[in-house]
Structure 1
């Protein structure tokens, strides 16, 4: 059963993530988080696969943000400094992989966090893993099951649910402000004055440090904010208008352009 955590803003990382034992290649922790809980920044030797069966997670690492709805999970390589926050009430499964096992080495950036599209098989394997690790007395069978889970984890596709950040203080001030206020409608020229930089400088910083134009970065921010709000039950019309779209149809078109699906299809997985 999930372990309910006290309703305080911050909580400590699971001690399970620090256990190094090749005879237990996978360990799992289940927990139910209330909205707006945040784990303290930390690293641990085990890699971490975090999936919320219900609710939305926000992962922050290396100046980037990942939004993780139930249709997706996040892979955090061992040794990566990160924070995990619950945007909504979330039922979370954390699977920790011992450093003796190589995972996702064939990925484009195996040393970075990645949001993964969760297959129906992976969902069922994750739920079953909790039972196997707790009750299976046959070590050989337990290890075979862990091998299957790791094999499926290796095969999961990455999804574009990240929002790259930057290091320049002016860019950080702007992206932090927009992250806290995705409905912000002031033009870039006015925002540039707000952070003490020219429009041209900010456009250059976005291109150099995030790999996205300002317009594309801003559009993705709004869509990631939309995923959070839709998952917690807000209507598509309310989400579209609150985030500055001219109409629900304009919001749907922008969502489809970014993610290849309508919002309703995306959230159904």
Structure 2
């Protein structure tokens, strides 16, 4: 989907409320397919978790894909754009900057725990229009502590700054199944293969092949979230076989594709 040519929705207003006496605000929403919130930033940090559906987050430095087994943390004042390609039920926590001292300073995707899922569901039923104390205040603090304990996941695709690198990234992003060699792809973008490889390593910390593999795997997560089978995803993204795709996916994420996507209450971590 071409994000630039879709309707841009306005961001939710709670992210713009500055009030240290209300360290956490919340919002729940159900979205349809192909919905994009315009690029924006707000003074509060944001935790976004889709109970169902897959989120895509874009910032100036790259892109993140967020399945229901994970949440994305967006630090205060960070330009970002949120897209859902499938119907999604999303839960947001907005954290005042005054409460972010022990929380991540950058955007990152993190694996959810059963405890945080339960806390978020409880928080969604709370009245946070006024400061809370007592048991509810302690519950909010436990949620913030749990966010600080979450494990980051490699669901990030770094962007480039050099125009030649950006041109090749655009080619691959528009067609993740592209199997051409670097020497075939680099020259039309204005660089030799050696220069392009150097640009990938200098600007993304990855080789060309590593970046292309990550692109394919993130696209695979998105398609799996849309309900495609592992076999269908494998062949549509240029893998020689379903088993080759599953092996690559397991090597990167530690579990097979369907297990990674599927939320399993019986195996969640506390």
What TM-score, normalized by structure 2, do the two folds share? 0.91
1:103 to 1:159, Cα distance in 2 relative to 1, 3 A: farther
CA contact (8 A) 1:165 1:172 kept: yes
Partner of 2:196, secondary structure, is helix
**Per-residue deviation, residues 176-218 of structure 1 (Å, max 9, x unmatched):** 2212221122222222122121111110000000000000110
Separation in 2, partners of 1:12, 1:77: 19
Kindly report which structure 2 residues correspond to 1:52-201, keeping only aligned pairs within 5 A, or say none.
52-105=50-103, 110-133=104-127, 139-201=133-195
CA contact (8 A) 1:136 1:142 kept: no
Structure 1 unaligned segments of length 5 or more: list them.
Answer: 1-7
Partner of 1:186, secondary structure, is coil
Q: CA RMSD in A?
A: 1.7
Separation in 2, partners of 1:144, 1:205: 48
Partner of 1:133, secondary structure, is coil
Partner of 2:228, secondary structure, is coil
Partner of 1:40, secondary structure, is strand
1:134 Cα deviation from its structure 2 partner: 5.5
1:40 to 1:137, Cα distance in 2 relative to 1, 3 A: closer
| Residue 234 of structure 1: aligned partner | 228
- Bigger shift: residues 259-268 or 205-214: 259-268
Partner of 1:123, secondary structure, is helix
The answer to whether residue 237 in structure 2 is matched with residue 221 in structure 1 is no
Separation in 2, partners of 1:10, 1:182: 25
Separation in 1, partners of 2:62, 2:132: 42
| Residue 264 of structure 1: aligned partner | 258
CA contact (8 A) 1:104 1:153 kept: no
1:103 Cα deviation from its structure 2 partner: 4.7
1:138 to 1:196, Cα distance in 2 relative to 1, 3 A: closer
Separation in 2, partners of 1:30, 1:138: 19
Structure 2 unaligned segments of length 5 or more: list them.
Answer: 1-5, 264-270
1:239 to 1:213, Cα distance in 2 relative to 1, 3 A: same
What TM-score, normalized by structure 1, do the two folds share? 0.91
1:136 to 1:148, Cα distance in 2 relative to 1, 3 A: farther
| Residue 200 of structure 2: aligned partner | 206
CA contact (8 A) 1:103 1:154 kept: no
**Per-residue deviation, residues 33-60 of structure 1 (Å, max 9, x unmatched):** 2222111111110000011110000111
